[in-house]
Chains A and B, each alone.
Chain A
């Protein structure tokens, strides 16, 4: 009989695992919250674009030995402005402009890093993260930048909700749509950058989109959605890290797979919207109409 407590505590004997858990909880919470707005505004593709667009900035700062945060933010800002500029010209759709610039920027990053000696190892750690290499200083940076993003989000919550829900009304209220959009993209860039080390370039999109999508199926209100999304994000991180530790799976992939499992389970079994739940409810309604009281309280009646 294995002692569960000691098994669960085992990874915490190592300092690098303690840092890794702290990092993934922070990233899970912050990405969960930001992800809600990303999915509500239909910016998932833009998130993917920024995640790839920061690549050349990270590579250059890695080579010249500067702060990767600064390099990434510069690259992300240039690319998001370029996308905005091309979209504003009215010649191309927004997603087309995103497609052009993010692959272009990513290719630039690959081109630069391929000139380096340790090409393969560097690329792997940038693309898929190196959560076990998270240092104390990295943790503080993640914490500081993440708190800044969350505080800005809290201060601007009504503005962001208004421009997401009803842009015409937001404009009529005198809000600066362009400025708020750019500010939101900057916050998104910061979120992605602090997540890069833990889950990497390619998988960060899952941390933004999957917990928020899961939360959306469980609630129709914003505040509960933010809470559920942050919780799913952090929980996926912790469980994923355990799976990775005990099964020897790549940590980024394992975390994303746990989040995906949360999503699929919710899609099938969510109380009101689940694909299987609603089918069972419908069957119960026709085969056992005398039990409809239960349905009204539990499933069908919760609309209003």
Chain B
């Protein structure tokens, strides 16, 4: 089997050369190639080259300002990288795609908005199908099924702002489920939520992984990053390390990423 050199054009028009592996069991669903993002005078991401596969859950770990959210926004197509390219199923990503679902950080939402839990979930369905018409009865049924999966069905008619933080997070997961995407991007899905919600979100993500989806989540919880993900990416503007969590989350790597003062959770450094 050969590995042809494919020439594709990035969004900035510059040709990008990338190796695309044709091993069908191990074709990257999404990859980044030399991704750089600059904000005015500051570099947020520098030369990030990563692969994400189907049936794989990846955790992005790094200190605040390491570029985790920036990377997720690039992968979602909201943010155009300064250099480099994001490739989805062999094609360069040009803006947002319905095949990628994104669960933003909860704080960016207008909680006072008079909208029910079911309607928030159905936003995932509303915009990339029948744009102007009413939602069909089957959409509504799918909405309730998705809410059921995250344990929120009985709150379907409640205004979104009346829920607790963990419950709100579950609704956003349901909204992402309704998008029928191939890639799921989650920005800090476990921060500020209770333990049952964490467990439930993990259970939903495990189901998606079994269904062949690609899951990428950002977190600063090292235990969560180590225990739940198949692959871990340690990030601090550059990729410090990537691979199985046990080989990535080592003391030397974490000290490079977080600085010398990083306090490690007990037990993490003694993993085999």
Contacts and interface: CB of A to CB of B under 8 A. Distances in A.
Of A162, A173, A174, most B-chain CB atoms within 10 Å? A173
B127 A164 contact: no
Contacts of A216: 114
A230 B110 CA distance: 23
A165 B127 contact: no
Interface residues of B, number: 30
Interface of B: 76-78, 95-98, 100, 102, 104, 108-110, 113-116, 119-120, 123, 126-128, 131-132, 155, 158-159, 162, 175
Contacts of A219: 114
B127 A158 contact: yes
Given A40-B114, A158-B123, A164-B110, A171 B78 contact: yes
Contacts of B123: 158, 161-162, 165-166, 169, 173
A303 B164 CA distance: 13
Given A165-B115, A172-B78, A221-B116, A159 B104 contact: no
B102 A172 contact: yes
A110 B109 CA distance: 41
Contacts of A166: 104, 108-110, 123
A173 B114 contact: no
A155 B159 CA distance: 23
B104 A165 contact: no
A225 interface: yes
Contacts of A117: none
A300 to B, nearest CB: 14
Contacts of B96: 171-174
B102 A222 contact: no
A173 B128 contact: yes
A293 interface: no
Nearest to A158: B126
A-B interface, 4 closest residue pairs, ranked by CB to CB distance from nearest: A220-B159, A174-B96, A172-B102, A168-B104
Interface centre among B113, B114, B132, by most chain A C-beta atoms within 10 angstroms, is B114
Interface of A: 40, 155-156, 158-159, 161-162, 164-169, 171-175, 216, 219-222, 225, 303-304
Contacts of B116: 221
Given A174-B96, A219-B114, A169 B104 contact: yes
A169 B126 contact: no
Contact of A172 (B104, B120, B132, B162): B104
Contacts of A162: 123, 126-127
A210 to B, nearest CB: 17
Among B77, B126, B158, B162, the one with the most A-chain Cβ atoms within 10 Å of its Cβ is B126
A159 to B, nearest CB: 7
Contacts of A168: 78, 102, 104, 108
Contacts of B97: 174
A41 B128 CA distance: 23
A304 B126 contact: no
A220 to B, nearest CB: 4
27 contacts: A40-B110, A158-B126, A158-B127, A161-B113, A161-B123, A162-B126, A164-B113, A165-B113, A165-B120, A166-B108, A168-B108, A169-B123, A169-B175, A171-B96, A172-B78, A172-B96, A173-B127, A173-B128, A174-B98, A220-B159, A221-B114, A221-B115, A221-B116, A221-B159, A222-B114, A304-B158, A304-B162
Contacts of A174: 77, 95-98, 127-128
Nearest to B128: A173
B110 A165 contact: yes
A171 B98 CA distance: 12
Contacts of A172: 76-78, 96, 100, 102, 104
B108 A220 contact: no
Contacts of A175: 127
Nearest to B96: A174
B113 A40 contact: yes
A125 to B, nearest CB: 37
Most buried by B among A166, A171, A216: A166
Contacts of B98: 173-174
Contacts of B131: 158
A77 to B, nearest CB: 25
A166 B24 CA distance: 38
Given A165-B115, A175-B127, A304 B155 contact: yes
Kindly name the residue among B97, B119, B162 whose own CB sees the greatest number of chain A CB atoms within 10 A. Answer: B119
Given A166-B123, A172-B102, A172-B104, 4 more contacts: A156-B132, A158-B126, A162-B123, A168-B78
A303 B162 contact: yes
A214 to B, nearest CB: 13
Contacts of A169: 102, 104, 123, 175
A57 to B, nearest CB: 31
B136 to A, nearest CB: 14
A219 B112 CA distance: 12
Contact of B114 (A155, A225, A304): A225
Contacts of B128: 173-174
